[in-house]
Amino acid sequence: MNNRSFYFQPSPTMSPRPNVSAERKPQILLAAMQVFLQKGFTAARMEDIAKQASLSVGNLYRYFPGKLDITLALMELFLEPSLSNSNDLLSAPGTCRERLESSFLRVLEKQDASLLTLYGEMYHLARYEPRVRTVLQDYNQRYQKIVANLLQQGIQNGELRSVDTDAAAFAFQSIFDGFMQNMAFTSRPLNLSVVLHQAFDMLFNGLSVTRSNTS
């Protein structure tokens, strides 16, 4: 008998083996998020995440080399969609202020207490973890660039006076970060639309073209 007949030869009609890794990683990230919320980034252990994800610790290490790698994957999961949505602002209809204010409000309205807590944890972690700090710095720079380009559109359209758009974008980023962190600690209900509108009034009153600016 030809020995080659013993080799397994897949049928052309057989489906490829599913990518288990693609299924497991979201499961692990969800489990990690739950553990981080319960214990915080610092106190959480790989054993805790493995237990929450119903995996052995050995299996968990097959997907992520360590807790910091899980943290970075979670950050990418949160931050990249935000950048993609923000980039769409440059071609969206409306004035500069309308686009920016509606974008801020959409993001803030989607945040629940758990996500806000994680957001604060990430910034705390960035103080002593260089890789986390690098990711946040890169995100902030890219986001501020989008906002600066949007403000430049406002200047070119005659909505805003000529300003240092990079400095103004940094101010907008600071307001956004402040909202995110304060929302995690406030105990009273807030009308986000009203509060955000007042904040934008203060900023845009200084940026908008007025008669005194144009005379």
pLDDT in tens, 135-157: 999 999 999 999 999 999 999 99
Out of 3-12, 52-61, 152-161, least confident range = 3-12
1 domain residue, yes or no: no
| b/e per residue 138-158 (b: at least 16 CB within 10 A) | ebbeebbbbbbebbbbbbeee
Q: Is the pLDDT of residue 120 over 70?
A: yes
58 and 82 in a common domain: no
pLDDT at 200: 84
Q: How many domains does the chain have?
A: 2
Query: Beta partners for 208?
Result: 160
115 domain residue, yes or no: yes
Q: What is the CATH number of the domain that holds 43?
A: 1.10.10.60
pLDDT-above-90 percentage for the chain: 39
What's the rounded mean pLDDT across residues 35-44?
Answer: 89
The identity of residue 143, as a single letter, is Y
CA 21 to chain centre: 23
What's the rounded mean pLDDT across residues 203-208?
Answer: 80
3-state secondary structure of 121: helix
43 and 118 in a common domain: no
Q: How confident is the model at residue 111 (pLDDT cuts 50, 70, 90)?
A: low
90 and 114 in a common domain: yes
Q: What is the CATH number of the domain that holds 87?
A: 1.10.357.10
Its pTM stands at 0.76
Q: How many CB atoms lie within 10 A of CB 7?
A: 7
The pair of structure tokens assigned to 176 is 């956004």
Domain, as residue range, for 153: 68-208
Q: Is the pLDDT of residue 79 over 80?
A: yes
83 and 28 in a common domain: no
Give me the chain's average pLDDT, please.
81
pLDDT at 82: 77
Pair 32, 50: CB distance under 8 Å: no
